[in-house]
Amino acid sequence: MFSFNHVTISVNNLEETLNFYELFGFEKYKEYHDDYVNIIMLKLGNMILEIFNYMENNKLPEHSKDLGIDLKTIGNKHFGIGVKDINKAKKFIEDNKLSDSKITITKGRLGKTYFFIKDPNGILMEIIEED
């Protein structure tokens, strides 16, 4: 009856954000513009990423940029993108300078290998190896 539909993020710089996510294979799906907001929907496989860019916006709280602190705060934490080979994904991100910090691959409590990066707005994105 139900299926996952989309994740929404609000961003400061729309063009920089679109360029970033397009490097991961996201493509424009739908868009809307008015005097107050730009809304772009990107699609990657069955995943839809809805991007809001309000003309007047509030910055991401600093604690949301630190996974160790943010996971303890109630609310949405991050979204994940699956990959077949975590090491190839790490190399792609490093080669394209898509992370401003050292990438550490971790084996999680549930047995999956993953790492986190931040998008240009500081939003956490998990890269996780699929079965």
Tell me: the pLDDT tens digits for 73-124? 777 778 899 999 999 999 999 999 999 889 999 998 889 999 999 999 888 8
Determine the 3-state secondary structure of 73 from DSSP.
coil
CA pair distance 66, 63, nearest whole angstrom: 6
pTM for the complete prediction?
0.86
Positive/negative CA dihedral, 119, 15, 89, 110: positive
DSSP 8-state symbol, 122: S
Quote helix, strand, coil % in the chain, to nearest 5.
20, 35, 45
Please give the pLDDT value at position 9: 93
Does 37 or 58 have the greater pLDDT score? 37
